[in-house]
């Protein structure tokens, strides 16, 4: 192996390890997320049915305000959001900042708890 090929292989391996570490740092623990859900969300949201808040099963990837059986605010219906992990993270940090006029006022201020909660929600179908 030539010297330049060696360094290219070494740099490629280092970049792969860094990317894997960054991805795992951004992925939450779904089991811990279930606890966050129980503590912070279950008072309003029911999995598999509407409660005071909409059903959260299948929320990741769904358009905001799209569950036909739930009476969303006009603000959320017209927000044009899709619940990607990034949008859910922003939303959970401050729903009124993301969509002024929404009915949701609860926040999850801790970034690690938000990651865990989003990991849990992503597993709900």
| Residue with tokens 């909660």, as numbered in its chain | 117
Residues pairing with 49 in the sheet? 46
Give the chain's largest Cα–Cα span: 66
pLDDT at 3: 60
Would you say residue 24 has pLDDT above 70?
no
CA distance 94 to 108: 8
Closest CA to 61 of 89, 81, 38: 81
User: Is the pLDDT score of 20 beyond 50?
Assistant: no
Q: Which candidate, 22, 45, 21, places its Cα nearest to that of 108?
A: 45
- Residue range 3-22: average pLDDT? 45
**What DSSP designation does 102 have?**
-
Is residue 14 predicted with pLDDT exceeding 50? no
Report the CATH number of the 28-122 domain: 1.10.760.10
pLDDT tens for 41-98 read 999 999 999 999 999 999 999 999 999 989 999 999 999 999 999 999 999 999 999 9
């Amino acid at each position: 192996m030539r010297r330049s090929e060696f360094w290219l292989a070494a740099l490629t391996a280092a970049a792969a390890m860094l990317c894997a570490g960054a991805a795992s740092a951004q992925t939450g623990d779904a089991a811990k997320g279930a606890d966050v859900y129980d503590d912070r969300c279950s008072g309003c949201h029911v999995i598999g049915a509407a409660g005071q808040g909409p059903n959260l099963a299948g929320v990741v990837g769904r358009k905001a305000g799209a569950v036909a059986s739930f009476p969303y605010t006009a603000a959320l219906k017209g927000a044009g959001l899709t619940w990607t992990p990034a949008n859910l993270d922003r939303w959970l940090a401050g729903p009124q900042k993301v969509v002024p006029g929404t009915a949701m006022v609860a926040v999850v201020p801790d970034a690690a708890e938000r990651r865990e909660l989003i990991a849990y929600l992503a597993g709900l179908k």
